[in-house]
Amino acid sequence: MGDPLREKVNLRYRDPLEQIRQWEGESITAQEIRERIPGFRAFKVIYKPAGSKYALWVRQTSRGVYPDKDPVIHTDGSWTYQYSPESTRGSFDPDLATNRSLMRCMEDNVPVGVFREGKAQIGKKTYRVLGLGFVSEFNGTHFVIRGEPIDETSEPVPEGVVPTFTPMELESPGVEEVVRLIRERRFGSVIRELYHERCSLCDIGFRLRGHPLALEAAHVIPLQNRGVIGDVRNGILLCSNHHALFDSYAWTFDKDYRILVSADHEFRASAAANHVLSWENEKLPNLPDLPSNRPAREAVEWRFAEFEKRR
């Protein structure tokens, strides 16, 4: 499967959808979205550009009357989001142009951008950008939209399937630098969502002007060791401080998510001020809600073995 933006989208609408892809997982002000995305100023729910068969984007607002549901995130970073159609007198109306445009997206497998209104900054309305998704079905009450996986050229994992974890990249295919950066950004945004924007070790999440601060997606098996980037089970969210210590093998966790700290005397003496020692032998306090999205045993065992070499 190639990049759907190049294979499925009219050149006129490729740039705004590319922008939505780059914003995935971010909180963006309504003003900034209006400046970059067509139709966002005037249309509230589903935007179908004039002369186009397809919807370009959908959004959920905090005051919306439609019962949309929270997205479910899968191991490959894709998500499932149930989005309510527009209605006439409280009932689904298949003849509305907006609903037809989403049906056409489903029939022709054309991606659509998804925005959800989030916590407002002071005086500024903001939207959480879910990213690009594909309408997979209409289930009678909702359009089911499947988000792109971290590797946008792969098919999303089937619903209800937890694939076998592959800890290492089998090969290192050459990709454009911009594509690599987008995948790393997507990996980070999904990890932040799964860990509720809080460090897995200290359970602290800083925010400044509506944005998470000093939080970083760490790879359990590092990329320089060919650790897989397209699977959230090779990730964990840490604050900048605890990420640096994690990368230096000053601490790790075992298959039961129990925290282990280096035996190095100099580190233990210096770490007392940072409370690292107080978590020793405790379970990581912040993990994804779904066990299937937590660090995979194979990745944890690899990290534990490397930690033991340095302990």
In this structure, whether the domain defined by 4-147 belongs to CATH 3.10.129.10 is answered with no
Residue 150, judged by CB atoms within 10 A of its CB (0-12, 13-18, 19+), counts as buried
Q: Which two tokens stand for residue 252?
A: 């790790």
Going residue by residue through the chain (311 aa), what tens digit of pLDDT does each one get? 567 787 878 888 999 999 999 899 888 999 999 999 999 988 778 999 999 999 999 999 876 666 677 899 999 999 999 998 888 877 788 899 999 999 999 999 999 999 998 876 667 889 999 999 999 999 988 999 999 999 888 889 998 899 999 999 876 555 667 777 888 988 999 999 999 999 999 999 988 777 788 999 999 999 999 999 999 999 999 999 999 999 999 999 999 999 999 999 999 999 877 788 999 999 999 999 999 999 999 999 999 999 999 87
Contact 117, 16 (CB under 8 A): no
pTM: 0.88
Helix (H) or strand (E) holding 138: strand 126-138
- Residue spans in the chain of domains classed CATH 2.30.280.10: 4-147
Q: Which two tokens stand for residue 276?
A: 């690292």
